[in-house]
Structure 1
């Protein structure tokens, strides 16, 4: 082993294509588990909420709880990956996810289920951040498009198979609880495969974990997301409670910014990353995409079941339309980007398609032909496939290896923030619109004598639970389906401006050709070339040998091949 005191640099052998594919198998299994945690439950949610006597707020929080925990912890996982063994961290995230899944499977109430989803979100946050970081540690940005097709395929498989599996499981004797067991064998397999195949340099150096900054970030983000979720239902948007929560949340985030900028030796979110124009704009675009993508599409399964009367299995089949487009564009754009090194035009084109798809979905209601809805979903999927992975790629191309985890997780975190805000806010809009439309239509039915006094009394004493459509009288069922269909289309219209803002951010990103090295050269970074966003002729990759010892500002650092 090289003496740490000398600061000499020896070299480590880069992974071959075969070794990358072997390790990638475990990583993709881990990513599949993370994505499956949301998709497998999507079509089961109406049944879960009905079985546990929940309401629309509970439905929203089963989704938001995971997103919130994932969002708050993603930057922490990313920073830890810059300091500790990436393999150990991925395996730890798999274990945390599995524990949360077991708790959710046996949840006796909505409260316990939401708490279990928080635990799942902690693990999913790690998997979401770390898989991208590990892949970036193995593959150069120029070659990464070659492997992004695999990521797109896994995303598509999880998105298609998740709702289908969830629907089949819910309709089987296992019931909805079986949805939380399905990911456990895959998580175990991913753990074993990673143990055998993933061998990356492990950073060994003096570590100062930013506990204060991490706590302030999680608390501030969580409070603001709680406010977005509960305002308008549990308390008014403009009220003393709202003011107190917002003031405290903003204060905590301001404190976190001060700690990250002035106090922390190893900040969870290095603020200097935002000096890079690409990172700042890609982060802003990620927030807007999160609102448009998660905020609206998460309610499509509810639309197909409650507005179109589909079973969970049939609702899952409808997701093939969007995922098919996503898979196709992800693979095609990834290959072309690898060949050319140019990525911006695909980002711009992808965002144009997202705007078109979301706008068209804004026109749907309970009577829109399913084939038309499927076409609109496919257009949206084509846009998302060309956008999501390439936004992360543009950021990873501009940062040094030492900041790779933090930078990647920042983009993922802000996309999750956008998703959490979108799901929460649009869920409140959906509940309000459905209730208002249902009450308006109910008056007409009462006037026509199509609702009996007993039925009206039962509705007046309703706690706001999501009804079982099949148990409602035909006039009431038709009214509810119509109200829900129209409200879903309205959600997509609300999402359109956010997609437009994401396109504006993408247009202002200055394209830097993808480099062919794992790390950014110190000379280029110190000269401010990367931060300025100007194209750089990256030096050729020099294959290392066994150990790499690099000096940092805090002292020597040693990376040992594990």
Structure 2
């Protein structure tokens, strides 16, 4: 009988998700993952097998550089839009059925893509493929997280990374061989993955067994539509800007504004949706937010490497599709090694952030070095640069997902995992589209300049086919023109890698701020097993299964007999089978606190029941038997309260008194005049430096924060034209604490450094106070200007160098701006 009840999920999780006796062994996990890894292999294969064949495919279908980019971008876009939807469905429906559905969609898209008659049809079929691939990519991470704890997941993420590497190596090689084989042709690049998908369907049916929790759901189709529309419009703009229309044109303004509006509508829809595809509350967690943004930049770096290397080797270095795949092995080898080794070591040590940061360094270095390559760069150098890129991507890709999964509740696992994958795909889609457009423009410019340099014989080609957007057939070009085009492609693709290196640097900087949290030692199903079957109001049945009562009874001495979870079809027992604990939740002046959450915890830390207080503050829940328990009550605007209760054989009446959180109001004034300071930034931090609240002052300089935990805090205020100020404040346990902050105006010193010929750029200006301490240094701009802000009133010395140094003493007023120009002259001989 299928485990479809909440208690059934708990029993299933306790037995490892599939084993009847204890946790799953390594062999059992690998059997369960076999079909999943095969499905992932199919997904990655479909993405990489066409990479080396694309130049020939696009040439055969009559497309140009724009079509080349969109064959890749369309798949990434579909993955981007579909990934959050798959993740939300995984939280609501049968994960195994969803994996199989994704495989079916992939098969249908692949078969149709192989029949394409033009570039437009191929792009449309690739969209269908992308929907299926997005499901496989997201669900693989989600299913692994459901079965395996974060601590152990590093090991199995290594296997996933190895599968990724094998498919990424095998895909281009296989695609190249198929393309170079006359009796097969490029269409078989789309057909070859179909048998693997069918085998994966069969293996999944036999090996993957997950519990199913059925509940009423509402899928957020509106959210999926608006995020797809926003991203699509943005990609259309990036693809054609600078080609079909100028970057600064009415089309740009219309498309960017439309994309922003659609994104805002998406946020509005998500804030009101019952089951949003991207729960906005997840972004309250700093780790999830930073991991998502970092994943977006990693997506740019990862996909730019896999997409543009094919053009580099085939068009800049005149290699065949097969050899193009062989030559990218260093990058894939690096990815294989780093993902496998880092996964094993993370499982052994439990430390993951060092790998994340190290990966950021390697990705940035690899792409930066790849930005220096040309069409005639020795291959060994290119191979080393590719290996660095592969090592870095292998360290970052899986660990960004791991850091997120380690932070969320089991009920949000699918949404959180797919959110990180969504941003990675989004970065890849935007990156490939934008970088493809940049590359096309750069190649055109380099080709035009190169052809013009060949002399009058080729001058007519400078504005013709030699510099067109069509992908050239290098074998048909005369030798001088061919060299020019190879150089143009080599230099243009290198420029793309330089831009991607900047994106990778941003990802690295973001990872520095991700806080390392110890990895959990229980998988999502096991965590779910430790959670209660909740919702036990006063007149409801206590949802405590017979098996759970037996376990708790053993802890507190009741010893109730256990039942087989698969023999019980209903998730709850009748009211009255436990011992009632009831009372009222009240706040200040004995006022009831409605909607307060009251939770009963066993001595072993297991949640036994939960109730939500009624409008009069009354709550009720059942204890499974006699013993000592912990009762926890919490509500918005109040501090949580925990108390110990002792249950004998009779109902227990226990009232809970909650104390409210404090508020902080205040005013920011100018120190000299006492005028209100508008739009000042106010930041509140606790004793550990953690951010508690932030806001800006209103028209009268006022600010206010509610629901702050009583205790010592630091209030920092900053406003333009004033010196920042921080002061300690003690938040009271009740009522509102008021504070007045006076800001002192900061003086500003500015001027121009002039030489005999006019304003002097790059002159170094040093400001020293009366005590001889250097207050600051500045370098003049092209107009010779310099400035120092936030200065105290007093005497200073300004020294400017560039010609013989000139030092001047001056006095700065307490507020406003002082002007001081400096004249430099030549050294007199």
Counterpart for residue 240 of structure 1: 250
Asked if residue 223 in structure 1 is aligned to residue 228 in structure 2, the reply is no
When residues 312 and 546 of structure 1 are mapped into structure 2, their CA distance, relative to the original with a 3 A threshold, is farther
Report if the CA contact (8 A) 1:2-1:10 is conserved: no
SS for the counterpart of 2:242 is coil
Asked if residue 433 in structure 1 is aligned to residue 445 in structure 2, the reply is no
Runs (4 or more) in structure 1 with deviation over 3 Å come to: 1-10, 455-458, 519-526, 544-554
Asked if residue 87 in structure 1 is aligned to residue 114 in structure 2, the reply is no
Report if the CA contact (8 A) 2:48-2:306 is conserved: no
TM value normalised by structure 2: 0.62
Unpaired stretches in structure 1, ≥5 consecutive residues: 527-543, 555-562
Report if the CA contact (8 A) 1:23-1:193 is conserved: no
Aligned residues: 532
Asked if residue 56 in structure 1 is aligned to residue 65 in structure 2, the reply is yes
Asked if residue 334 in structure 1 is aligned to residue 308 in structure 2, the reply is no
Report if the CA contact (8 A) 1:2-1:549 is conserved: no
Counterpart for residue 560 of structure 1: none
Q: Once structures 1 and 2 are overlaid, which stretch shifts more, 490-499 or 45-54?
A: 490-499
**Partner of residue 515 from structure 1, selected from 517, 520, 526:** 520
Kindly state the Cα deviation for residue 55 of structure 1 after the two structures are TM-superposed: 0.4
Q: How does 1:110-509 map to 2 (within 5 A)?
A: 110-172=119-181, 173-261=183-271, 263-447=272-456, 449=457, 451=458, 459=465, 464-509=469-514
Task: State the alpha-carbon separation in 2 of the partners of residues 59 and 335 from structure 1.
Answer: 38
Give me the CA root mean square deviation.
Answer: 2.6
Cα offsets for 1:114-164 (capped at 9, x unmatched): 111011111111111111101111111111111122111111111111010
Q: Which has the higher strand share?
A: 2
Kindly state the Cα deviation for residue 467 of structure 1 after the two structures are TM-superposed: 0.6
Task: State the alpha-carbon separation in 1 of the partners of residues 111 and 611 from structure 2.
Answer: 44
Task: State the alpha-carbon separation in 2 of the partners of residues 58 and 364 from structure 1.
Answer: 25
Kindly state the Cα deviation for residue 211 of structure 1 after the two structures are TM-superposed: 1.9
Report if the CA contact (8 A) 1:347-1:390 is conserved: yes
SS for the counterpart of 2:62 is coil
When residues 8 and 375 of structure 1 are mapped into structure 2, their CA distance, relative to the original with a 3 A threshold, is closer
When residues 437 and 6 of structure 1 are mapped into structure 2, their CA distance, relative to the original with a 3 A threshold, is closer
Q: Which has the higher helix share?
A: 1
Task: State the alpha-carbon separation in 2 of the partners of residues 45 and 91 from structure 1.
Answer: 28
Counterpart for residue 11 of structure 2: 11
Task: State the alpha-carbon separation in 2 of the partners of residues 4 and 39 from structure 1.
Answer: 39
Task: State the alpha-carbon separation in 2 of the partners of residues 420 and 235 from structure 1.
Answer: 21
Counterpart for residue 820 of structure 2: none
When residues 463 and 141 of structure 1 are mapped into structure 2, their CA distance, relative to the original with a 3 A threshold, is same
Counterpart for residue 96 of structure 1: 105
When residues 254 and 549 of structure 1 are mapped into structure 2, their CA distance, relative to the original with a 3 A threshold, is farther
Task: State the alpha-carbon separation in 2 of the partners of residues 162 and 475 from structure 1.
Answer: 34
Task: State the alpha-carbon separation in 2 of the partners of residues 61 and 331 from structure 1.
Answer: 32
Task: State the alpha-carbon separation in 2 of the partners of residues 512 and 9 from structure 1.
Answer: 27
Counterpart for residue 33 of structure 1: 42
Higher gyration radius (CA): 2
Kindly state the Cα deviation for residue 232 of structure 1 after the two structures are TM-superposed: 1.9
Kindly state the Cα deviation for residue 247 of structure 1 after the two structures are TM-superposed: 1.6
